[in-house]
Amino acid sequence: MTLAGWLEGLERLAQSRAKAGLTRSLRSRGPADAVVDMAGNDYLGLARHPDVVAASARALDAYGLGATGSRLVRGSTEEHAALEAELADWLGAERALVFSSGYLANMAAVRGLAPRETLIISDAYNHASLIDGCKISGAETVVVPHADPAEVAARLDARAPGRPAVVVTESVFSVDGDLAPLAELHAVTSARDALLLVDDAHAVGLLGPEGAGGVAAARIAGAPGVIVTATLSKSLGGGGGVIAGPATFIRHLIDTGRTFIYDTAPPPAVIAGVRAALRVARSAADRRAVLRERADLTVRRLRAAGFDVATPAAAVLSVTAPGPEAALAWAADCRDRGVAVGCFRPPSTPDGSARLRLTLNAGVKDGDFARALDVIVECAP
């Protein structure tokens, strides 16, 4: 193929995506952006919290901009070590390891838990980072219907005796916002000598005692065979990812985790900001209460307008749109009226389907939140 042919091929693909309503575009916001945020993941409103910004600014001054190296070379600072101890304590794990993103943490977690001979059982709605982790592990991966512990049990029972297995799920799912049956899944895995990996990205800060997440809420934090990942970029308002689990597993990841070893460490200023956010998050019962009220209000309002909406487990809700193009137009109309909403289309959703994804942010003012709900209903297709 010629170089010109290659670009023409890409152009044709772009045109067919455009026809199917699957074009994606970047939109840059400024610091004084007045749009009401019903699309981001800053659930507790901590990204701009004064303690968080001040802690980050102090570390920026002390350490400079970047980590200057990978974690094993020059990239581990006292901030990284302190955050790992604090995360382990919060998540109820023996040890925690910080990565530069949740995506990279998930890839390392799945690969580290699943040597080639392992059977991986993965929920059909799992995030791309977990799916990619399954792929790079090279282990056989069976995708099971969403939130189906009986099917997981059947697959585990059907495996060859003694074959290692790991079950992979999110806690609160990133698009639909429902909660996996974690206690049931754990009962299934622990009775069958299998590991359970839970991505708690959308539940840490929101569920469980002191916001310790979906795993803590299900009372399986620190249980044998339970490993947790999370991102530091959502309710903690910063960036980075974490794996929490047995110290021996963390040791294994430090020695062998490719996305840990060959990646520049997250900047110390971000880590210091996340530490401050974690301190606020642990005692943010008031912010969690605001989110629960807003979740109820949103569901009532959308149902009254005729939409079929499930009650969210935390701060993510999904509203079905007639199709990708309608979802795109709905989101664009909201945007034009000053409300940012998420628009999820394939491949983030099954083919042909599309949704608006609404997220709740405790930092949004009550009046703005009420107006955003009006706009979403008024712009509906």
Chain contacts with ligand PLP (rule: CB under 6 A): 101-103, 106, 127, 129, 170, 174, 199, 201-202, 231, 233, 241
41 is known as an active-site residue: yes
Residue (141 or 375) nearer to ligand PLP, CB: 141
Residue (143 or 297) nearer to ligand PLP, CB: 143
Answer whether 275's CB lies under 8 Å from 83's CB. Answer: yes
Please report, for residues 70, 174, 184, 199, 217, the alpha-carbon distance to residue 179 in angstroms, rounded to integers and kept in the order given.
35, 10, 12, 11, 11
| Residue 210 neighbours by CB distance under 10 Å | 15
CB of 177 to ligand PLP, least distance (A): 11
Residue (108 or 153) nearer to ligand PLP, CB: 108
Q: Which of 170, 176, 178, 200 is catalytic?
A: 170
Task: Give every CB contact of residue 318 below 8 A, 6+ residues apart in sequence.
Answer: 175, 176, 177, 309, 310, 344, 355, 356, 357, 358
Alpha helices, DSSP H, located in 64-166: 78-91, 102-113, 128-137, 149-157
- Cα of first residue to Cα of last residue in the chain, in angstroms, is 43
Q: Which amino acid is residue 21, in one-letter code?
A: G
CB of 231 to ligand PLP, least distance (A): 3
CA 46 – CA 280 distance, rounded (Å): 8
127 is known as an active-site residue: yes
* Angle in degrees, CA 275, 263, 29, rounded to 5: 60
Residue (354 or 375) nearer to ligand PLP, CB: 354
CB of 199 to ligand PLP, least distance (A): 5
CB of 115 to ligand PLP, least distance (A): 22
Q: Which of 56, 122, 126, 174 is catalytic?
A: 174
Residue (259 or 380) nearer to ligand PLP, CB: 259
Answer whether 91's CB lies under 8 Å from 221's CB. Answer: yes
234 is known as an active-site residue: yes
The encoded tokens of residue 297 equal 């209000």
Query: Per-residue DSSP letters for 271-285?
Result: HHHHHHHHHHHHT-H
Among 321, 241, 280, which residue's Cα sits nearest to residue 45? 280
Ranked by CB distance to ligand PLP, the top (closest) residue is 102
CB of 310 to ligand PLP, least distance (A): 17
DSSP tally for the chain: helices H, then strands E: 14, 11
Among 379, 316, 370, 308, which residue's Cα sits nearest to residue 348? 316
Q: Which amino acid is residue 251, in one-letter code?
A: R
CB of 236 to ligand PLP, least distance (A): 10
Alpha helices, DSSP H, located in 305-350: 324-336
CA 253 – CA 152 distance, rounded (Å): 26
Residue (153 or 204) nearer to ligand PLP, CB: 204
Residue (76 or 359) nearer to ligand PLP, CB: 359
Q: Which of 127, 137, 171, 176 is catalytic?
A: 127
CA 202 – CA 62 distance, rounded (Å): 31
Residue (129 or 235) nearer to ligand PLP, CB: 129
170 is known as an active-site residue: yes
Q: Which of 42, 176, 199, 200 is catalytic?
A: 199
| Residue 320 neighbours by CB distance under 10 Å | 14
Q: Which residues pair with 198 in a beta bridge?
A: 169, 228
Q: Which of 80, 176, 234, 318 is catalytic?
A: 234
CB of 122 to ligand PLP, least distance (A): 13
CB of 41 to ligand PLP, least distance (A): 7
- Which residues belong to the active site? 41, 127, 170, 174, 199, 202, 234
